[in-house]
Structure 1
Amino acid sequence: MNTPFWGPDFDSLVSTDPEIADVVLGELDRLRGGLQLIASENLASPAVLAALGSTLSNKYAEGYPGRRYYGGCERVDVAEEIGIARARELFGAEHANLQPHSGASANLAAYAAFCEPGDVVLAMDLKQGGHLTHGSPVNLSGRWFEPVAYGVRQDTELIDYDQVRDLALEHRPRMIIAGATAYPRLIDFAAFRAVADEVGAILVVDAAHFIGLVAGKVIPSPVPFADVVTFTTHKVLRGPRGGAILCRAEHAKAIDKAVFPFTQGGPLMHSVAAKAVALKEAATTEFQGYATQVVANAAALARGLEAEGMRVVSGGTDTHLALLDVRPLDVTGAEAERRCGDATITLNKNAIPFDPEPPAVGSGIRVGSPSVTTQGMTEPEMAEIARLVGRAIREPAQAGQVAAAVGRLTAAHPAYPRD
């Protein structure tokens, strides 16, 4: 059997555009030489990357399988149909749409399917863990709709479900969004469903951060409770950068029309195929083991960082991420991020609940375990990583020594190991 031609090989890139080739190689070196603790990132498999770099990138395929606006879609139709079937089976969903270009695109489609400009939408406050697309005033969601924000309790830093219900009863939202970008705990989907039913709202669960843990069967699924589930494919799920939507059958037509033609044109068929590959990988017992380790590693990392003097927001984590208050170390989140970056540890500054600092500064950091778990690291390595993060923040003059220790750790657990 002949090896398929995936597209221009890397030697061709080197000869055609050595500047961009150097960027690609430099990024590979960065991944191999540092610790990647961004909770919203992961290391896609070579199979996923192969689909992304394939000739499917060439095909314009506006519409849906069997209903395209261009000819020649016979093969890409098969890829999309395979991916849809895999998504429905993996998550037990009645309908799936793999065309959204991103999580933000998926959320926009949910708004488009159910809301009119000016409608009230109840979602989590960005300052307490929510996402830009949940009603931030700088985002379309906050400009075109009427956002009402719920948050966490100040004493526990857990979602205030009483507040969610009170706000819903007061404002009667058209749509309620459950989900967050910096909330480390499980979400009570049944509680949100009950509130949505009480006020006649559509319930959308933004599962971008944790859908991979649902696929790995280590946390509860929102699918039985939500009208719509939006998610990204590039976090714990370990697929290509992109978005997807699951929904009940009764909403399938509205969701599909909201994606195309209302908010998007032609889908990225190479990305759709890569999503299908990731979904197949996520259906394996190996992925379930991976997801289990992701959660264990996040908990171990949080414990280790607490031992380094940081305060763990909400007292712990149930997922792949942890939020740490770094004020006990007498730094801001932005400064902690910079110092860790100098030591080849990549993480992000983050606001914490009731943060006195502006978002661009923040009093916290957010860390995640997906990438380092993909590299084969477990709890002992999480303890070492925590020590290195603590040292990088407390002793910025020792950044070189910390980077050297990071290099030894990643050499033993490399990203994209050389054959």
Structure 2
Amino acid sequence: MKKKIISLFIILTCLFSSFPFILAAQNLKLVSNYALEDPRNLFYLDNNVYVADGTNGLKIVNVGDPNNPQDQGSYSVSGVCFDVFVAGDYAYLANGITGLQILDVSNPLLIDEMGSVVDSNYAWGVYVVDDYAYMADSDDGLEIIDVSDRENPVEVAESSSGGYAEDVFVLDGYAYLAEKSQGMRIVNVTTPTSPTSLGVFNDGSDIYGVFVEGDYAYLAAHGSGLIVVDISDKNSPSKVTNIAFDGMAREIFVENKIAYVAARSEGLILVNCTDLDTDLTVMAKLDDNSETGSGDAGVYVADNYAYVVDQEKNSLQVIDLTASGGGNIWLWILIPAILAVVVLIVRKSTAKKEPSRKEKLSDEEVEEESNEDGEESAVVGIEESESEKEEIELKSIPEEAEDSQEKSEESEQSE
């Protein structure tokens, strides 16, 4: 028992020593703000944040020192830069009415334009896989562009369903489109030149952002918060769960089963998505008090930091997800498991054996029982003494008989 108590003490000490990290994980820390002009979205790669800075084009910010972001370079565009995707040495910009623009960013201080594809509609989002760029192109839905020759990109296919495409995510041969009031649409792009529209999820929400991980699509919905959709059946996506919160969810990023939602005026909201069979819960929030309709518009998570662009503050926010320099945000998920283990150990360590009969007796009953035991012992002692006396007497009878016989024989000889 003593060893169990010592072990329990050690475990509890470790647990409570980690509490500052667990609590800190729920209190996100804004470590720096970097001034921008018109930020819309962002992309992170190798300590650089590439910002789609609206009418100011592309802005590159080095965040190698999160507390002191540094300007790395910029490039002006004729349209409005709504989104950016970086692959290798190239940045792909979704530039609204001017379509797709490709830049060589191998040297951020000397950015070169490679090629572009002008479009009659609005290019809102872009995602690049191998030699193809997939654009969320408003009324035209999904536009697919061959970028193998970056100086001469060519549109090769479109897939439209009458919706208004705002965002796109591509994974394992499928494109997922956030089409506002038309919901989320899945397109088979295994053959990029011949896309095939598959299933649609539409519960009436306005879907603005989409992020896919495994068999689930995580949707940022204006007025409806976060919606999780099962996409294992591409022809029939179905809702799994959701969590509503104030603010207009605009973009979303998922990592380690945590959804990071840029929710405009409500700031950055973190949702625990560990167990999708239970109700989703908000595990952390960083509200910068932006005005209604504005605020956080894009989010990217990397290396224990969240990078957020705020349209109302016109800034890039760098947020420490470990808050006090220890522990990762995902430790919050382990709290229920840790507490469950501790409870089991406590129960096992403090469990009592079934008390004996004497342990159940009162002091008076124990004394009475002791007296009774004493009396029984005395009686037994007397009985044992009498038995021994009888045994001695029985032994003495043969001896007396032998003595009498010897005397009789001696008398006869004398005669």
TM-score (norm 1): 0.22
Higher helix fraction (1 or 2): 1
Structure with the greater alpha carbon radius of gyration: 2
Higher RCO (C-alpha 8 Å, min separation 6): 1
TM-score (norm 2): 0.23
